[in-house]
């Protein structure tokens, strides 16, 4: 009987283990039969006109309302759940970015740059579901928690001089919003590793296996982003539901040696690439905890229009659309999606879908692209290209200029109404300046098409929050109303450079001080990509995100302002000179006070005796015996001893006089 029980017990353990794995992988089921938590992983690949490749990783975890009080989760990261509950966060976004998004070459109108193109350094904003008087305290505690969670200097945003409270210009406009940036924060693997630990499979399985650190950080641009939304529970005693979105946007330059050798005469040939050549790895299957695991390859409207113009036919949606006269894909797509473009243009984007579920370690997924012909196209731009620069010289005053140049996109979207005098283009500007940059808001000037205009004619709405010394930064929110036919517009505002205490300067003060990027948004334009409706779109968070109406938004450059900087070497020089004088003074004084005159005279006698020869010394001793006198050693002349004593006294007096003069001069 004992022998029969052992196999039954072993079988029971195996069945229990498989059942627990099934519950963890597909989420626990409550009494009503609803799934508790879900996880999705997706990857988007998109070529750029300047021979670069966009790789956009998108992960989404969701946790519905529960009664666990954030103590237990199957897939959702426990640290994020506790953070939301403790600090009453309604919505939050944190980004770590290295490099700057090139809006001219990589576009600025599709959902990727509008939502994932971030300013250099760290950007953090949060909306709290708490009373107004508790928001600042919650913000400070939140920054400290995120600083420890992601191994960054986010705790520097706790100071009231480092964050602001936008009223209406920032997209999630709310009176309970706090916004802060750290433009000089360096981004490294210490920030990426905690970010990956929030994923159920981390970087051990699924699409996240491609996240090779050297490949990511040698790119031209990379931005890791974390965005969470807390949904209401609908009943008391229930924790709110949370949707966590993690994205990693990387712009990489593929190895183009093969392309340059094969098409040496072609100037605009695109490089040949594959996932293994870019990241050094291949996808050996999906993460078992993910609901869906897909890879998408996107051809934007400009590229599709150029390919159709070259071949005079729509070869992208033919029977063998993955291999055509323009390019060839190494893997056959599972589906193809065409963008609906009724209001935009006749050209539509094309999206290829690859399902990772059917791949395994024996047959890994390695998507590659080989271009057969050179192609030149342009990415779709925002209505106006925004840039910012400094004017003036010297360390006393200067001016900030925000330049808006037309990209001809506004006329394309407005159509025939663009030449109408009543056609208007709305532009929102959000600018934060540190307290030591004292902005004179009354000096605001507006130039439209190089002609000065009255501020009241262009600025429809303005909100100004002047800075307070060492208390809060300055905030400026503007709503500009420009004609649709505008070609350029410039805003200038003057400022004075303040003075800082020596303790307030950073270690690299001579490098300058950063002014965070300004945010320029176009509320009348929405970055949206709508594909044909089908069941797979409902299961794809990435494609669902593309269908949301989000305003077109862009960030300007980070300005570097040189301030009056003290000579930090002067304290060192003063300390060195003072210590040298005191060393000479006390050294000579102690030498004179501790010197023994008798020992010095005895030393001189011995020295004089050694100078005499043996024969004179014997004769001296003989004469002394004959005369009956005791022999005495040669005595040094008394003038020498008095000279030495007077010399020491003069030296002490001289040093004491120098010390007295030094003290009198500096007092």
Q: Which of the pair, 41 or 584, is modelled with greater confidence?
A: 41
What is the CB neighbour count within 10 angstroms for residue 591? 12
Are 221 and 117 members of one domain? yes
Q: Could you report the per-residue pLDDT of 341-390, keeping only the tens digit for each?
A: 644 456 788 899 999 999 999 999 999 999 988 888 999 899 999 999 99
Residue 91 has pLDDT above 60, yes or no: yes
Q: How confident is the model at residue 106 (pLDDT cuts 50, 70, 90)?
A: very high
Residue 32 has what pLDDT? 43
Residue 8 has what pLDDT? 61
Q: Does residue 559 lie in a domain region?
A: no
Are 388 and 361 members of one domain? no
Report helix angle 638-666 to 570-594, nearest 10. Answer: 150
> If you average pLDDT over residues 441-449, what whole number do you get?
94
Q: Does residue 125 lie in a domain region?
A: yes
Residue 314 has pLDDT above 70, yes or no: no
Q: How confident is the model at residue 267 (pLDDT cuts 50, 70, 90)?
A: low
Residue 311 has what pLDDT? 73
Are 233 and 134 members of one domain? yes
Q: DSSP string covering 81-107, please?
A: HHHHHHHTEEEEEEEEEES---HHHH-
Residue 447 has pLDDT above 80, yes or no: yes
Q: How far is CA 548 from the centre of its chain?
A: 26
Are 354 and 394 members of one domain? no
Q: Does residue 30 lie in a domain region?
A: no
Q: Does residue 613 lie in a domain region?
A: no
> If you average pLDDT over residues 323-343, what whole number do you get?
81
Residue 409 has what pLDDT? 64
Residue ending a domain, among 463, 485, 516, is: 516
Structure tokens at 35: 């799934």
Q: Which of the pair, 657 or 636, is modelled with greater confidence?
A: 657
Residue 341 has what pLDDT? 66
Residue 316 has what pLDDT? 57
Q: Which of the pair, 536 or 304, is modelled with greater confidence?
A: 304
Are 109 and 208 members of one domain? yes
Residue 270 has pLDDT above 60, yes or no: yes
Are 395 and 345 members of one domain? no
- Bridge partner list, 228: 92, 244
Residue ending a domain, among 516, 550, 578, is: 516
Counting residues of the chain whose pLDDT is more than 70, the rounded percentage is 79
Radius of gyration of the chain (CA): 38
Contact at 8 Å (CB) between 420 and 474? no
Q: Could you report the per-residue pLDDT of 571-629, keeping only the tens digit for each?
A: 888 889 889 988 888 888 888 777 776 677 777 777 776 666 666 667 777 767 766 65
Q: Does residue 569 lie in a domain region?
A: no
Structure tokens at 557: 């450059």
Residue 323 has pLDDT above 90, yes or no: no
Residue 591 has what pLDDT? 80
> In this structure, what DSSP letter does residue 211 have?
-
Q: Which of 44-53, 82-91, 164-173, 506-515 has the lowest mean pLDDT?
A: 164-173
Q: Does residue 550 lie in a domain region?
A: no
Are 303 and 396 members of one domain? no
Q: How confident is the model at residue 340 (pLDDT cuts 50, 70, 90)?
A: confident
Q: Could you report the per-residue pLDDT of 126-142, keeping only the tens digit for each?
A: 999 999 999 999 999 99
> If you average pLDDT over residues 17-43, what whole number do you get?
60
Residue 68 has what pLDDT? 66
Helix (H, G, I), strand (E, B) or coil at 9: helix
CATH for 479: 2.60.40.740
Residue 22 has pLDDT above 50, yes or no: no
Measuring CA to CA, how many Å separate 560 from each of 334, 389, 403, 502, 517? 49, 9, 17, 20, 11
Contact at 8 Å (CB) between 67 and 237? yes
Helix (H, G, I), strand (E, B) or coil at 112: helix
Report helix angle 135-150 to 189-196, nearest 10. Answer: 100
Are 246 and 280 members of one domain? yes
Distance CA 254, CA 376 (A): 17
Q: How confident is the model at residue 413 (pLDDT cuts 50, 70, 90)?
A: low
Q: How confident is the model at residue 520 (pLDDT cuts 50, 70, 90)?
A: very high
Residue 1 has pLDDT above 50, yes or no: no
Are 365 and 404 members of one domain? no
Distance CA 50, CA 327 (A): 17
Q: What are phi and psi of 29, to 5 degrees?
A: -110, 130
Report helix angle 638-666 to 597-611, nearest 10. Answer: 130
Contact at 8 Å (CB) between 141 and 89? no
Residue 65 has what pLDDT? 83
Q: Does residue 603 lie in a domain region?
A: no
Q: Could you report the per-residue pLDDT of 221-251, keeping only the tens digit for each?
A: 999 999 999 987 555 666 788 999 999 999 9
Contact at 8 Å (CB) between 183 and 506? no
Give the number of domains in the chain: 2
Q: Which of 146-155, 170-179, 337-346, 575-584 has the lowest mean pLDDT?
A: 337-346
Structure tokens at 164: 């602001």
Q: What are phi and psi of 567, to 5 degrees?
A: -80, 100
Helix (H, G, I), strand (E, B) or coil at 311: helix
Residue 414 has pLDDT above 70, yes or no: no
Residue 454 has pLDDT above 70, yes or no: yes
Of 20-24, 263-267, 590-594, 624-628, which has the strongest mean pLDDT? 590-594
Residue 239 has what pLDDT? 72
Residue 100 has what pLDDT? 94
Distance CA 128, CA 176 (A): 6
Altogether, the residues listed in the chain come to a count of 667
Are 346 and 468 members of one domain? no
Residue 490 has pLDDT above 90, yes or no: yes
Residue 438 has what pLDDT? 94
Of 29-33, 268-272, 380-384, 585-589, which has the strongest mean pLDDT? 380-384
Q: Does residue 112 lie in a domain region?
A: yes
**Plot region of 326 (φ>0 → left; ψ -120 to 50 → alpha; else → beta):** alpha
Buried b (16+ CB within 10 A) or exposed e, 593-625: eeeeeeeebeebeeeeeeeeeeeeeeeeeeeee
Distance CA 304, CA 337 (A): 13
Residue 502 has pLDDT above 50, yes or no: yes
Domain assignment of residue 444, given as a range? 384-409+423-516
Are 441 and 308 members of one domain? no
Q: Which of 34-38, 186-190, 208-212, 495-499 has the lowest mean pLDDT?
A: 34-38
Q: What are phi and psi of 276, to 5 degrees?
A: -70, -35
Distance CA 589, CA 50 (A): 76
Are 508 and 392 members of one domain? yes
């Amino acid at each position: 009987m004992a022998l029969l029980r052992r196999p039954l017990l072993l079988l029971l353990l195996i069945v229990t283990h498989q059942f627990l794995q099934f519950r963890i992988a597909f989420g626990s089921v409550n009494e009503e039969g609803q799934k508790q938590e879900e996880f999705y992983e997706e990857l988007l690949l998109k070529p750029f006109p300047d021979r670069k490749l966009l790789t956009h990783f998108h992960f989404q975890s969701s946790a519905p309302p529960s009664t666990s009080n954030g103590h237990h989760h199957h897939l959702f990261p426990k640290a994020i759940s506790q953070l939301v509950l403790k600090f009453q966060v309604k919505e939050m976004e944190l980004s770590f970015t290295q490099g700057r998004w090139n809006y001219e070459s990589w576009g600025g109108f599709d959902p990727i740059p509008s939502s994932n193109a971030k300013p250099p350094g760290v950007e953090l904003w949060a909306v709290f579901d708490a009373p107004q008087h508790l928001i600042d305290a919650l913000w400070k505690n939140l920054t400290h928690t995120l600083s420890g969670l992601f191994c960054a200097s986010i705790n520097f945003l706790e100071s009231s001089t480092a964050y602001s409270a936008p009223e209406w210009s920032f997209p999630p406009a709310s009176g309970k919003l706090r916004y802060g940036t750290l433009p000089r924060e360096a981004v490294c693997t210490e920030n990426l590793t905690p970010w990956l630990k929030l994923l159920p499979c981390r970087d051990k399985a699924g699409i996240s296996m491609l996240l090779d650190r050297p490949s990511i950080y040698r790119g031209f641009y990379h931005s890791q982003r974390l965005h969470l939304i807390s949904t209401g529970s609908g009943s008391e005693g229930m924790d709110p539901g949370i949707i966590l979105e993690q994205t990693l946007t990387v712009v990489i330059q593929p190895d183009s040696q093969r392309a340059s050798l094969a098409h040496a005469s072609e100037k605009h040939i695109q490089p040949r690439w594959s996932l293994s050549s870019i990241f050094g790895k291949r996808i050996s299957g999906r993460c078992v905890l993910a609901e869906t695991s897909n890879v998408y390859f996107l051809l934007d409207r400009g590229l599709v229009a150029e390919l159709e113009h070259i071949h005079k036919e729509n070869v992208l949606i033919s029977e063998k659309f993955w291999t055509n006269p323009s390019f060839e894909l190494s893997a056959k797509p599972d589906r193809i999606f065409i963008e609906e473009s009724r209001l935009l243009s006749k050209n539509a984007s094309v999206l290829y879908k690859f399902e990772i579920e059917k791949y395994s370690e024996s047959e890994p997924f390695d998507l590659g692209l080989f271009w057969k012909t050179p192609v030149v196209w342009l990415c779709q731009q925002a209505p106006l290209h925004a840039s910012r620069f400094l004017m003036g010289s010297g360390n006393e005053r200067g001016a900030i200029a925000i330049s808006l140049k037309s990209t001809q996109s506004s006329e394309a979207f407005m159509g025939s109404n663009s030449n109408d005098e009543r056609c208007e283009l709305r532009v929102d500007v959000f600018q934060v300046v540190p307290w030591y940059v004292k902005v004179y808001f009354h000096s605001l000037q507006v130039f439209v098409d190089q002609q000065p205009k009255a501020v009241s004619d262009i600025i429809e709405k303005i909100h100004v929050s002047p800075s307070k010394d060492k208390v809060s930064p300055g905030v400026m929110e503007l709503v500009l109303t420009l004609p649709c036919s505008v070609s350029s517009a410039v805003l200038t505002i003057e400022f004075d450079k303040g003075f800082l205490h020596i303790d307030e300067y950073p270690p690299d003060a001579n490098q300058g001080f950063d002014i965070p990027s300004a945010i320029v948004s176009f509320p009348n334009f929405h970055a949206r990509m709508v594909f044909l409706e089908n069941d797979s779109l409902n299961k794809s968070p990435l494609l669902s995100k593309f269908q949301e109406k989000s305003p077109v938004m862009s960030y300007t450059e980070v300005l570097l302002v040189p301030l009056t900087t003290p000579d930090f070497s002067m304290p060192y020089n003063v300390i060195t000179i003072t210590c040298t004088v005191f060393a000479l003074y006390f050294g000579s004084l102690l030498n004179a006070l501790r010197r023994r005159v008798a020992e010095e005279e005895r030393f001189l006698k011995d020295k004089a005796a050694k100078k005499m020869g043996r024969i004179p010394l014997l004769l001296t001793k003989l004469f002394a015996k004959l005369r009956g006198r005791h022999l005495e050693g040669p005595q040094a002349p008394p003038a020498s001893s008095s000279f030495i004593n007077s010399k020491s006294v003069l030296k002490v007096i001289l040093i004491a006089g120098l010390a007295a003069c030094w003290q009198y001069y500096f007092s």
